[in-house]
Amino acid sequence: MFCQSCKDVYEEEEAGTCKECYEEASETEEELKREIDDLRSRLLFLRLPSPTLDASSTAHSDLLLHAIPASSSSSPSPSGDADAGRFDTPAIPAHRVILASKSPVFRAMLDNEMEESRSGIIKIYDVSYDVLRAFVHYMYTAEALLDEQMACDLLVLAEKYEVKHLKSYCEKFITSKVNNDNAITHYAFAHRHSAKQLLEASMSAIMESMPTLAEREEYKELVVKDPRILVEIYETYISRQDNTAADKDSDCSCRK
């Protein structure tokens, strides 16, 4: 009989579709399901209400967010005020009701009589202007234009302000970029920021390149900076080798 999709001959028990077309259709279906789940997640994020701030009274209460990069965070101003006159980049406007609805950290900050709530100025340390602008844009749209560096920077900011949807969004993007060349760097990053999906993907890539692991510059840096991560990598490798050996022994026993 002929496949209804590709017209190739197939076995009768395959019910109208050859195995290759069936598997391709299944993959497409799974991809569509993931896209639908992502859209639902974005809509839920955008619809999040603010449980503590009255939208009718605060919708027009603008805030000004200022990015203070790490290079300037320890440079005092001439007046002696550690924060005065340090804003070298434009302010990024935002509405407190939006920030409070998406971040419990901002909510706590703005729902209480803290300096940021009274002044309407929030200083975000150790972040560039471009990253902060992308962060605020995501709070309004649930969208971000990512490359690997931007995704990493936004994930750190999302973790700091507990914007879980953004953290997950960035983690998925970084995970899709994991390969043998960057696996060690991404594994260390995932370890620092509790990114489980990225951690597992990076570990899988590392396992594939274990024979040349010690030759990499990233490996040598970890020896100095955080040898505990290397211990964890080798423990995982040994554990998987033991499991593989045990499975082979089991197969041999069954055959006998």
Q: What domains are there in the chain, each with its CATH number?
A: 47-146+154-160 (3.30.710), 178-256 (1.25.40.420)
Mean pLDDT, rounded, for 205-234: 90
pLDDT of residue 102: 93
Percent of all residues in the chain with a pLDDT value above 70, rounded to a whole number? 72
Mean pLDDT, rounded, for 164-190: 95
Distance CA 137, CA 197 (A): 25
pLDDT of residue 2: 54
Contacts of 116 (CB under 8 A, 6+ apart): 63, 109, 110, 122
Distance CA 161, CA 153 (A): 13
Q: Measure CA 172 to chain center.
A: 6
- For the CA atoms of 44, 46, 49, 54, the dihedral, rounded to the nearest 10 degrees, stands at -170
Distance CA 65, CA 244 (A): 53
Distance CA 230, CA 219 (A): 8
pLDDT tens-digit readout, 71-118: 754 443 433 344 444 567 889 999 988 999 999 999 999 888 889 988
Mean pLDDT, rounded, for 24-45: 74
Tokens of 223: 């020896």
156 vs 101, 147, 193, CA distance in Å?
A: 19, 14, 7
Contacts of 60 (CB under 8 A, 6+ apart): 95
Tokens of 153: 């920077």
Q: Where are the beta strands (DSSP E) in the chain?
A: 62-68, 92-95, 121-125
How many angstroms separate the most distant Cα atoms in the chain?
A: 86
Distance CA 84, CA 78 (A): 9
Mean pLDDT, rounded, for 43-62: 57
The DSSP 8-state label assigned to residue 179 in this structure reads: -
- Quick check: 61 pLDDT over 80? no
Contacts of 28 (CB under 8 A, 6+ apart): none
pLDDT of residue 65: 95
Distance CA 255, CA 180 (A): 36
| Residues 163, 168, 173, 177, CA torsion sign | positive
pLDDT of residue 254: 60
Alpha helices in 78-114 (DSSP H): 96-102, 104-110
- At 207, is the pLDDT very low, low, confident or very high (cuts 50, 70, 90)? very high
